[in-house]
Chains A and B, each alone.
Chain A
Amino acid sequence: MLEVRDLHASAGGREILKGVDLSVKAGEVHAIMGPNGSGKSTLAHVIAGRPGYVVTQGSVHYQGQDLLAMTPELRAREGVFLAFQYPVEIPGVSNVYFLKAALNAIRKHRGESELDAMDFLSLVKEKARLVDIDESLVKRPVNEGFSGGEKKRNEIFQMALLDPRLALLDETDSGLDIDALRVVAAGVNQLRRPERAMVLVTHYQRLLDYVVPDIVHVLLDGRIVKSGDKELARELEARGYEWLEAPAAP
């Protein structure tokens, strides 16, 4: 579903990704781990299309299409979803109504009928239950005044609502207490599907106790230096990242 080949990307003139290769198939859950500054979040943002990054080399293909040639909104309509590490507060914009516009744009793109207010609100009810988020919360301005945990739940709620094919979760576990982590993880697990791929970007192994990945990658200094199964995550937790020397630049 997702083929990343020799991806180099920089921001502000500094190279952050230095040749990432990643292959994700439908139904798989991948975890990308690495210390701060290794390029994990950059990878997620480049895939989602955040302006400000320059891809200097390599390619990203999604369902056979050149993802890098698409606008962020087109990627979203094609089924790419990014759960933000720091969800943005947008005063004056209704969370639920902006999601209605987003969902209907995505549905229209897929050739599906648009949902009317009634159908949409019953969908909201259903998906809000999934992440145990208060319905009144999702109707407020986007993320405004939300606690850290509420913001993360709102991200997973949005993911459930928008029904993506490729979900990128950028440090969705960070800053959550254990109860919130369980709720978020349970939500993510319920969204695992044979036709959906997920990439979890995380600093700690903690989330992976609840959402068990198929493949774990270690990203160090802009490259994937090691891949393995879920045991690799435990090893990283026990030994840290130091034993994985970043390879010298070619």
Chain B
Amino acid sequence: MSLSRRGQAGLAAGAVALALLPLLGDRFWLQFAGKAMITCIFAMSLDLLVGYAGLVSLGHAAFFGLAAFLLAGLTNQFGLLNPAATLPLCLGGAALAALLIGWLSLRATGVYFVMVTLAFTQMLFYLFSEAPGLGGSDGIYVAERPRLVVFGRTLLDLGDRIPAYLAIWTALALVFFFLYRVVRAPFGRVLVGIRVNEPRMRTLGYPTRRYKLAAFIIGGTLAGLAGYLDATLYGFVNPALFGWRQSGLVLVTVLLGGKGTLYGPMLGAFLLSLLEHFGERVTPHWNALIGAVVMAVVLFLPGGLAGLLREKHG
């Protein structure tokens, strides 16, 4: 659970390096790191469910995709550009969807829960693929990126590469510290109790479904933040954001990095992004390469990459 000193230093060094990356001036790596950090947020939001509450969701992409599409809709249909308006609306939408989907899917447990979450995200996938008003299977562009204008002065334009990148970095830092607090608070410890022995938690007096729903909403909202940033970074959304490939990939990211650690999924996100990038150059069958790495980690490092950084006695 707790990081070794060296691990902490490594995380801090990584954060500083990422903050300084814009000085390099390289377009590609800036976009690459931005995307990887978005995946970090997405994966950590799922880690709260999988690693702490023990809720294996295969529908986590639903909230990512919904927030991304909401941003496109708000921008294109209503000309809303101010992030102070679009961000709360998109996150609110994701939270509301998580409340509804969570409320329904948490009536099932175990593998049935997995199936219900999967069904929901597939439903959204087909809805957005087949409704021309929502862009259809080709997706839609976000006409203009969010920008904060106060009294005629542009304070923040997320259409610019560097401010957009720094906004992602800031969001990642805030999400990490927020979740770090949440999992160490009584709430997070109750979630762990539910994961380990839910029936016992009920006879100890915990309305466990309510706790799981709260975790589901927090996780869904933060996945929505990742989707919002993704739509901002690329300026384009398509129904593949909802697909079960996306949901599965983020689950693999969490397991590869080490569930129940928060920092593990971040390592997983960067490793997978690098594998994808370099694997593509080496072989057209790079997906198989990723598969092999995932298998190797699951078999030989049951704690994921995070297991390497953990304190030996912990």
Is the pairing of A and B real? no
Binding site for A on B (CB under 8 A): none
